[in-house]
Amino acid sequence: MASADQESSEPAGFDGARARMRLRVPSVAERVAEELRYQLAEGFLVPGAKLTEATIAEDLGVSRNTVREAFAELAGERLLIRQPNRGVYVATLEAGDIHDVYTVRRAIEVSSIRAGGSPERIAAVRAAVEEGKRAAAANDNEGLGSANQHFHGAIVALAESGRLDTIMAQVLAEMRLYFHKATMNAHFYSDWLTENEQICSALEAGELERAGDLLLAYLNRSEQQQTAIHGA
Amino acid sequence: MASADQESSEPAGFDGARARMRLRVPSVAERVAEELRYQLAEGFLVPGAKLTEATIAEDLGVSRNTVREAFAELAGERLLIRQPNRGVYVATLEAGDIHDVYTVRRAIEVSSIRAGGSPERIAAVRAAVEEGKRAAAANDNEGLGSANQHFHGAIVALAESGRLDTIMAQVLAEMRLYFHKATMNAHFYSDWLTENEQICSALEAGELERAGDLLLAYLNRSEQQQTAIHGA
DNA sequence: GATCGCTGGATTGTTGAACAATCCAGCGGA
DNA sequence: TCCGCTGGATTGTTCAACAATCCAGCGATC
């Protein structure tokens, strides 16, 4: 995640020959981090749970030092929290954090969509919308969730900024961690499915201001909903 | 930096008693990271320079493993770049990165100022402006630079989002790394000194749209200047 | 003369063990 | 009930070793 989109700031096909084809074999620490990220996203590790170095080292068959390195990486992404001399815990979003996260999303998503983007990038947004429709038709709740994330990720990708992409990826990971599948019932999905359609249409029509307004309204409402569900 | 503003998302004086007064004694790894950050900001370590684990471990009198942990932290902040099995190098901003960085700044700075902020936060912006004036009067080039950074940091702080604050801090650190003091001659400063004044006045007057437009114009021009100087 | 393959040295990646520092729970005494 | 102590557990840090990888240099070959 944090490593896959490093190169995405390159204008596609600009100086193709020079591309860094560096055959990445992820290090052990990275694979441990990846495994933990997976378990976090999947809800196998719930917020607040304690992660003991020795235990995880043994479970994954790696050295404690390596686990430590993975912990440092995930702590940098705010997925884990390190309490000095006390251990690392799965991050928990407090009431204020919800607003905080949505503030970030408002900043980068609205800014990205207001600036428009290349036809290819816009097509990617459209693709995410269609992906959502297909998932809805198939009653695939899981697919609906990721389709929505792809949609918002594609919006940020309009800006062609690798840094914004990684920031967005981290924020989405944080939200996945806390708003796990259980809390995301089908009720929500029906709402934004048509809304994403509208936003995408406005974007395709070049009505960037309106697209931005729609997106902003969605984010505000979404924040309200999440705040209502979780702590006041 | 990345550790000092962790708590800034708390509404000031909300539940003061509960505050985490946890007497932070920074770990060795953190102090190593801090030292490296300092050397990076000070230009003692130039972009592209190679950092050998063993050398730094010996220089700072710590273990190689600890240096490793610090490297991981700084790599997460994009200040260092890890090339697997080849070593870590001080990050270098390519031509595309300049646009990338300014894209982030446009997103979060403009968004923050457009949403306004509490009187205290606005006062902090004003304070940064005055700080710049004093530095200018004293011909303190160094002080001018940090005053400008404080100004833009204060603008982001309007949003009261700890996450935006750390993002901004990282971006500013990246820029300090590349646009070191040498490239920032007094010519630039005279420009934005009056401009910051205007932006701040508009903010104080509640003319948020205008403040945002001015800020956006400044960022666009600043990007142009930097692009003109460094690689096309 | 250029390319290929090898080899040795240097650096990073990872492990395992050890010890110090710190925290926590439980226990006993005032 | 509160205080302080103590033992056990976990983290922080170091050290040493080895495997994996890369790089520069050097011949050998065509």
Protein-proximal positions, strand C, CB < 7 A: 11-18, 21-24
- Express each pLDDT in B147-173 by its tens digit: 999 999 999 999 999 999 999 999 999
Q: What is the pLDDT of residue A21?
A: 53
- Express each pLDDT in A137-168 by its tens digit: 988 888 888 899 999 999 999 999 999 999 99
Q: What is the pLDDT of residue B42?
A: 87
Confidence check: pLDDT of A199 > 50: yes
| CB-closest option in B76, B106, B107 to A73 | B76
Chain B residues 57 to 76 with C-beta below 7 Å from nucleic strand C? 64-65, 68
Is B56 near strand D, with its CB below 7 A from some atom of it?
A: no
- Express each pLDDT in A92-138 by its tens digit: 988 889 999 999 999 999 999 999 899 999 999 999 999 999 998 98
Is B86 near strand C, with its CB below 7 A from some atom of it?
A: yes
Q: Strands of A39-167 (E only): list them.
A: 50-51, 80-83, 87-90
Read off the pLDDT of each residue in B198-225 and give the average, rounded to a whole number. 94
Q: Which long-range contacts (CB under 8 A, 24 or more apart) does B130-133 make?
A: B132/B193, B132/B196, B133/B193
Smallest CA–CA separation between B132 and chain A, in Å? 27
**Domains in chain A, start-ordered, CATH in brackets?**
1-92 (1.10.10.10), 95-229 (1.20.120.530)
The strand pairing partners of B81, in sequence order, are B89
Confidence check: pLDDT of B22 > 70: no
Smallest CA–CA separation between B30 and chain A, in Å? 11
User: How far does chain A reach from its first CA to its final CA, in angstroms?
Assistant: 32
Confidence check: pLDDT of A23 > 80: no
Reported confidence tier of residue A26, pLDDT bands at 50, 70, 90: confident
Alpha-carbon distance values, A24 to A27, A30, A170 (Å) = 9, 11, 21
Q: What is the pLDDT of residue B143?
A: 86
CA–C1' A17–C1 (A): 28
Q: What is the pLDDT of residue A7?
A: 33
Q: What is the pLDDT of residue B184?
A: 59
